[in-house]
Amino acid sequence: MKQYLDLLQNILDNGVEKESGRANMPNTIGISKGNISMNLQDGFPLLTTKKMYLKGIIHELLWFLRGETNIKYLVDNNVNIWNGDAYRWYQKWWDDNISELEYLEVKKISSIEEFVEKIKKGELEERQWRVGSQGNQKYKLGDLGKVYGYQWRNQNGVDQVKDVIEGLRDNPYSRYHIIDAWNKADFRDMALPPCHLLYQFIVRPMTPIQRIGILYSRGLAQDCETQEEINLKLEAYKIPKFYLDLNMYQRSCDTFLGVPFNIASMSLLLIIFATASNMIAGVANWIGGDTHLYVDHLPQVKEQLSRIPKTLPGIEITKKLNSLEDILKLTIDDFILVNYEPYDTIKAELFTGLKK
């Protein structure tokens, strides 16, 4: 992933320091556009210049795809990247409803550690607090509001994941294969507006030579003597007719901590959708808007830039995928990472705007 290291260096060389637009966040050094283009036939883009937590990437993506917006599933699987945002959302919810909560004799949780521990133990999990004059404001410990999973699966009543999967099957050349999480009407109900906000899937027809190459690589064409026999086998064995590419736009990019996670997640999403659509995962294009480094991360960035990238690993999905229902049944055990030999991890603080 030399492209990623080049992006880090570009920010160091050309970035401008500015204040964060969010409260309780450090200054950043950034540029106004970043781009990384990843051909998934060259390997799975999981950084090798520091060890990445792939299980966290997989769990979060499955959580998105299922439309979930409460962190209980994540914390139960040791994925803690959303804890700070969930606790900050809890604090806001408390402050907005404190008079009624005092009436209900509910005590405020005083620390993020206590908050996460209560979620792990399932305390209050089955109880939805209802406040407001009509009792119509709901909150369950660990909620994040209408964030990614909600927008992906129920944006204004539309299941965007279902639409894309069905669209790739029924009308592959359509330019409507989009998942869009930027729904301003729901911002007031989100712990955090989406950073990675737009995914567009685009098919690219394979040439006859490319399809025949797949046939031979699978050992299915050795006894073919004529083009007609080859064509029959291409159809009989359902050899893919398309590469599936993906463009993802991310408005705000924590380039040291977040972007490596995001490019692996979008690439895995592309692999899942391509597999379920009988296509070959092609090129994943990551496009960053405000592409920045927190000034507090600069020592870690320099350490990472001192490392030489290694060969990218591969990733395999062991379960057959033919539909959205198959995708929603995926578990962490259905993924195998192959030949991953990274450098040691580089730890850095994840900033979420919590008061110190």
Name the active-site residue from 147, 164, 195, 271. Answer: 195
Of residues 160, 198, 157, the one with CA closest to residue 181: 198
Task: In whole angstroms, give the CA distance from residue 147 to residue 163.
Answer: 19
**Which distant-in-sequence residues (6+ apart) come within 8 Å of 159 by Cβ?**
153
Task: In whole angstroms, give the CA distance from residue 336 to residue 251.
Answer: 31
Task: In whole angstroms, give the CA distance from residue 288 to residue 299.
Answer: 22
Of residues 204, 224, 203, the one with CA closest to residue 212: 224
Residue 56 tokens, joined:
């966290």
Strands (E), the chain: 16-18, 28-31, 34-39, 129-131, 137-139, 178-180, 196-205, 242-254, 280-294, 314-317, 335-338
What percentage of the chain's residues is helix, strand, coil (to nearest 5)? 40, 20, 40
For CA atoms 278, 281, 283, 288, give the dihedral sign.
positive
253 in active site: no
- Classify strands 280-294 and 242-254 as parallel, antiparallel or unpaired: parallel
Q: What is the DSSP letter of 23?
A: T
Three-class SS of residue 279? coil
Three-class SS of residue 172? coil
Phi first, then psi: what are they for 149, rounded to 5°? -60, -40
| Triad 342, 345, 346: Cα angle to 5° | 130
Residue 99 tokens, joined:
């008079």
* Cβ neighbour number for residue 336 with a 10 Å cutoff: 10
Q: Which residues are catalytic?
A: 195
